[in-house]
Amino acid sequence: MTPRLVSSSQLLRRLEWRLEHEVETQLIGDYFSVFRGRGMEFDQVVKYEFGDDIRDIDWNVTARLGEPYRKKFVEERELVVMLVIEDSLSLQFGSGQRTKREALFELAALVMLLASLNRDSISVIHSSPGGYKMHDRVRGRNAVFHAATQLLDAKPPELTDTRPVETPWDLVIPAAPNHSMLIVLGDFPPREVPREWRQIVQRFIPVGFRVEDPWERELPGKVPLTVYDPTTNRVVVIDPRSGVHRKAHAEWVEKRNASFSHFVPRPKDRLTITPDESVVDALVHFFHAHMGTATQL
């Protein structure tokens, strides 16, 4: 990661200020509409009234009392938001003002602040080459702010460390209750979906966030480029004029996008941004798109 122009605490305060003063009503409302209320808990049994959902009728109580009664449910007051961050070497690439890693970690911090404003709990698993760190679940502005600061200050993996990033998916499953929100942030390289993923999808509300550099979408310019590849620790030359290079790049893009889609099948559950894009605006668009397609998927 390149040196920051502002400290982690300054960045968090800027994000927090914008949430509270510029887009709080819009973003908090969208967040609540999309992710809150998905988990329901039983409250009590009440008399059935015309227009109530017949699927909620408690037939045992109805038979015992001789008139229809239904189960009443209430929204769970606290949502657990679990962030799984896969800190791969490829995130340290950046053709613009900042790297993919900087943008991705800022996006993670924004989600943490957003959940904090909504009084939800936060849990973080940070995976990097050769290991992972599980952060204790926290709740409340000060605790979440401190956890987000620690995350932003985490040192990037050494470029010479070529060990794979192995996320402990088996530990994700018991780490939060049913209907929790699971956000996976990373590069989503071509790979097999983990065997635990089917159970994770049944247990949680999973979404995927990815940062994509413009050079990854399309080879720039018409002259050869000399770039550093952090995944192989080599300097390589890419020639946009070469048909072989363009074909190889197009095939790589197709495989990468297919992997992301395979991991998170529903388009409304995927968010891709560029490093220089506003993470707040991107998240607003994500929630709008999520709600706009909710009735179609």
Model confidence over 196-251: pLDDT tens digits? 999 998 888 889 999 999 999 988 888 898 888 877 778 889 899 999 999 999 99
Tokens of residue 248, six digits: 């190889």
| Residue 40: pLDDT over 60 | no
| Residue 19: pLDDT over 80 | no
Residue 173, amino acid: I
Residue pair 118/79 in contact (Cβ under 8 Å)? The answer is: yes
Predicted model pTM: 0.80
| Residue 47: pLDDT over 80 | yes
Q: ∠ CA 172-88-13 to the nearest 5 degrees?
A: 80
Give the distance from CA 157 to its chain's centroid: 20
Q: How confident is the model at residue 37 (pLDDT cuts 50, 70, 90)?
A: very low
3-state secondary structure of 178: coil
